[in-house]
Amino acid sequence: MFMRETRESNTTLPKGKEAMRQIGVMWSQLSEAKKATYTQRAAKDRETYSKALEQYNRAKKSATKDGAAGAVAAPAAEAPKKRKKRRDSEDGGERKKKKKSKKSKE
């Protein structure tokens, strides 16, 4: 949270690793009181996320149980198409070269 807010408010920060180093230095120089506010907010967000994830997993699990019979009877047309694998030719691409040379001779 501190990093995100610092990046948004401080437009003079460089991009990439150097910005992360500078933000790390800023974090280490913060007072314990300010760090505590960020850690409390992070804990609250983690708790909210955990609850939302549990609800999502429960809903997904119940949907899977309810739709299990329908998933087995699904038509084959809905299945994604498989891509053909390209085989490396044993001649190392000589076949293509031969075709090109035939065309150039004609």
Instruction: Work out the mean pLDDT of the chain and round it to a whole number.
Output: 78
Give the model's pLDDT for residue 56: 94
Nearest to 7 by CA among 26, 29, 33: 26
Instruction: Collapse the DSSP code of 25 into the 3-class scheme (helix H, G, I; strand E, B; otherwise coil) and give the result.
Output: helix
Dump pLDDT digits (tens) for 57-101: 999 888 887 765 444 444 555 556 667 666 655 555 555 555 555
Contact 16, 52 (CB under 8 A): no
Q: What six digits make up the tokens of 76?
A: 């084959």
pTM assigned to the model: 0.49
Provide CB contacts within 8 A for 69, sequence distance 6+: none
The domain spans of the chain are 33-65
pLDDT class for 45, splitting at 50, 70, 90? very high
C-alpha triplet 39, 45, 48: angle, nearest 5°: 145
